[in-house]
Amino acid sequence: MNPHRKARLAYRAANLLTRLPWPMLRALANGLAWLWMTFNARESRVTRRNLELAYPALDSAERTRLQRDVLRSTALQALETLRLWTRPAAHNLRDHLRERHGEALYDAALASGKGVIVAAPHFGNWELLNQWLASRGQIAIVYKPPEDAAGDAFLQLVRGGDNVQQVRAEGTAVRQLLKVLKDGGATGILPDQQPKAGDGVFVPFFGMQALTMTLVNRLAARTGATVLYGWCERTGPGMQFALHIEASAPALADPDPLVAGTALNAGIERIARRDPAQYQWTYKRFTLRPDGSGEADPYATATHPH
């Protein structure tokens, strides 16, 4: 079947699913989280291992409670996102963005003409943040394309719009982003994804050495663009969110990648600690270890079913 036809069918299915009343969707998310936990699914195993690494001081009962909360939040985020993708962005911003903090900061940075880099951690609902950014003007969003052509076509369909340029995280991405920023535009980057070996630096993140991208500081150093943090934090049970735009530490634009990477991760960690359940702990953030450390992949045994 044609990938675009598959994408349209997937969109229709998502549209039908998310027309269910929100209390039913919330119950569905809780049920999915229960299944992950009960059957020790990959999401549950990865979350447990991440919490062991990032929160070693928690006792077993506290860690289990947080693990359960993370899984509920992750399932909820997935259904929230489908709902956001199948509704007009203007309606989403009107109906679900109950608080807005830092709008003037973003608008001033954009108006300066120097370019804006929004570092958006996997916290809360980053798709709602994307829709807000697009409501302020043109935005180039960096994304990792799915291997399946239909999956990529689906993302183009649901994230597309007059103000959204989706930039594949490959090949010519840096060149495209440099042009956007030098023209005074804005780009959104998810800064807490593990880059390929050799494409980043190892700096601390939740007490662990984590391979961290250097893209943000390289773009900022070469263009003079303003770097801001942005996130949409869940504040209530009925798809209620608060937008936050905050200034970053000047060190994020430091030409020394170790200095910049350390500052970047410190900001991400501060945001994640606001509500640990809303951070994406289902992602294997620490698989690659520093050369010569003798450390093994921490997920190698912990994330396989027993």
295 domain-assigned: no
300 domain-assigned: no
Number of domains in the chain: 1
pLDDT tens digits along 30-49: 999 999 999 999 999 999 99
101 domain-assigned: yes
User: What's the pLDDT score for residue 239?
Assistant: 95
177 domain-assigned: yes
Q: Which CATH number belongs to the domain containing residue 129 in this structure?
A: 3.40.1130
User: What's the pLDDT score for residue 134?
Assistant: 97
305 domain-assigned: no
User: What's the pLDDT score for residue 306?
Assistant: 44
294 domain-assigned: no
306 domain-assigned: no
User: What's the pLDDT score for residue 2?
Assistant: 94
Q: Which helix (H) or strand (E) holds 132?
A: helix 126-135
- Picking from 86, 72, 82, 81, the residue whose alpha carbon sits closest to that of residue 29 is 72
304 domain-assigned: no
Rounded CA-CA distance 144/194 in Å is: 12
Q: Which residues of the chain have pLDDT under 50?
A: 306
Rounded CA-CA distance 23/71 in Å is: 17
Residue range(s) defining the domain that contains residue 192 = 3-278
Label the pairing between strands 186-189 and 116-119. parallel
